[in-house]
Amino acid sequence: MQDISLHLLDIIENSVRAQAKCVKVRVLQNVVKNRLRIIVEDDGTGMDSHTLQKAQDPFYTSKEERVKKVGLGIPLFKQNAEQVGGAFRMASEPGFGTVLTVDFPLDHIDRMPLGNLKDTLLNSIIGHPDLDFFIHLLYRDKVMELCFHFDTKAIREELGDIPLTYPDVIEYIDQSLYEGIQKTNMEDV
Ligand SMILES: Nc1ncnc2c1ncn2[C@@H]1O[C@H](COP(=O)(O)OP(=O)(O)O)[C@@H](O)[C@H]1O
Ligand SMILES: [Mg+2]
């Protein structure tokens, strides 16, 4: 995978597969701390400590139909963060959910780019219109803090019977995410 957004898409799909009802995605760009932090939190099935450990091992997957492969999903994301001096943490509680926190040093020359965050978020939202997505983007430097919040639950309540996948609604979500990404300086990170 060549950028963080594609990893994020994979992580969100893991949450969906774990029967999450709500997925919270945070992208925090902290120039003062030289840190790009991604947090994905779900309320899915969670993992016991054995599975949690195994999930970070490149030879493991619980998809039984699949031949075990190296370098999928989680292990690759972890490796991509750690090899530039970043950090990868995954915490989970069976029956409650999972939280994944990945840090990248913002200015590292070999850090993978954030990539197309808008498409990742938009595709996740409209691909799973019955889930609640809570998006929080935050930019911070010495002089300012810029933030953007997006919550599909609030939109769905507003829309009533109109589905999130209705073309005008997709257009609205697309535009909102675009503006949020611009506002928080997440373009070209
Ligand atoms: N959010 C999550 N909740 C519960 N289990 C998870 C979650 N994320 C990952 N897992 C477990 O870790 C395994 C490995 O995930 P991953 O590395 O993305 O590979 P894959 O998705 O191809 O199985 C999954 O098959 C699943 O068992
Ligand atoms: Mg996966």
pLDDT over 90 at 14, yes or no: yes
pTM: 0.94
| Least confident range of 12-16, 61-65, 88-92 | 61-65
Yes or no: domain 4-183 corresponds to CATH 3.30.565.10: yes
Q: Where are the domains of the chain?
A: 4-183
* CA–CA–CA angle 69, 72, 76 (5° rounding): 130
In ligand 1, the atom with minimum distance to the C-alpha of 69 is 22
Tell me the ligand closest to 76's alpha carbon: 1
In ligand 1, the atom with minimum distance to the C-alpha of 97 is 3
* Region 94-104 average pLDDT: 98
Average pLDDT value for the chain: 93
Q: What residues pair up with 97 in beta bridges, in sequence order?
A: 93
* Residue having the nearest C-alpha atom to atom 12 of ligand 1: 55
- How far is C-alpha 46 from the chain's CA centre? 16
What are 111-136's pLDDT values in tens digits? 999 999 999 999 999 999 999 999 99
Mutate to test the pocket of ligand 1, among 1, 12, 14 (most ligand atoms within 8 A of CB): 14
